Amino acid sequence: MSIIAFINQKGGTGKSTSSLHFAHWLATQQKRKVSVVDADPQRSLSRWFASMESHIPVTALTSADDLLEKIPVLAESVDFLVIDGGASLSEATRAILFRTDLAILPCQPSKLDLDACADTVRLVRQAQSVRKGAPKAAVFLSRAQKNTKLKTEAIAVLQKIPDVTALKTIVHQKQSVADSFGQAATVWDLSGSGAADAAAEFEQLFKEILRLVS
């Protein structure tokens, strides 16, 4: 049983998109027993799963008390519990960090986003200090544009964060990913080369993530 949380106190970095695709990939392609926690009061992940008529159980938990108390119970009966963290909720993010095995931080390649990422890394470190090293933590570059200086600079910044693994996979900004929610789908359900590229990036990312918990 592994608990894996996508967190970042900034909105729009790809937490819900990554959580949904990861949970769906684990359940359908890896045949693992998966449950999901939607920790964002906006409930975008819950609505997305509902629109897909997915069989993956989703539990909405937003208060720090509920997250602390219910995450271990939900994790007991599954192979993977995937948590979609909300934005700007430091108490809830702290609660997730006290319970998760692995925290994944999607970061966008701008100065503002990298600063927000550093704020979230600070919370990670606080939890690691209390929990004697746990949770493991990793960052990846999300919604990057190909061949840009911002992207190259951001990779260099992410690689320098101590004790946080910089994942090699970069998830690029793709119209197919942006379209998937509105189409009640994942990128695996959409046609076209853009969707296939996005699916390949997600698959590579998720395999990297699994190596961190196996």
Binding mask 32-71 for ligand ADP (x = CB under 6 A): ------------x---------------------------
The residue from 2, 3, 7, 13 that contacts ligand ADP (CB under 6 A) is 13
Looking at the Cβ atoms of 71 and 117, the one nearer to ligand ADP is 117
The residue from 2, 3, 9, 17 that contacts ligand ADP (CB under 6 A) is 17
Site stretch for ligand ADP (CB under 6 A), options 29-37, 109-117, 159-167, 172-180:
172-180
d(CA 91, CA 88): 9
**Long-range contacts for 74-78 (Cβ within 8 Å, ≥24 apart)?**
74/35, 74/37, 75/1, 75/3, 75/35, 76/1, 77/33, 77/35, 78/1, 78/32, 78/33, 78/34, 78/35
Please give the angle made by the CA atoms of 136, 41 and 81, to the nearest 5 degrees.
35
CB of 214 to ligand ADP, least distance (A): 25
Should residue 178 be labelled a site residue for ligand ADP when binding is judged by CB under 6 A? Answer: yes
CB of 51 to ligand ADP, least distance (A): 13
Burial (CB < 10 A; 0-12, 13-18, 19+), residue 4, is buried
Should residue 12 be labelled a site residue for ligand ADP when binding is judged by CB under 6 A? Answer: yes
The residue from 43, 47, 151, 174 that contacts ligand ADP (CB under 6 A) is 174
d(CA 143, CA 110): 10
CB of 17 to ligand ADP, least distance (A): 3
Should residue 16 be labelled a site residue for Mg ion when binding is judged by CB under 5 A? Answer: yes
Looking at the Cβ atoms of 16 and 54, the one nearer to Mg ion is 16
175-188 burial code (b ≥16 CB/10 A, e <16): ebbebbbeeebbbb
159: CB partners within 8 A, 6+ apart: 166
The CB-side HSE value for 192 (13 A sphere, CA atoms) comes to 12
Should residue 11 be labelled a site residue for ligand ADP when binding is judged by CB under 6 A? Answer: yes
Size of the site for Mg ion (CB under 5 A): 3
Should residue 19 be labelled a site residue for Mg ion when binding is judged by CB under 5 A? Answer: no
Task: Give the DSSP letter of residue 173.
Answer: P
Whether the Cβ atoms of residue 72 and residue 99 lie closer than 8 Å to each other = yes
Should residue 9 be labelled a site residue for Mg ion when binding is judged by CB under 5 A? Answer: no
Site residues, ligand ADP (CB under 6 A): 11-17, 44, 87, 143, 171, 173-174, 177-178, 181
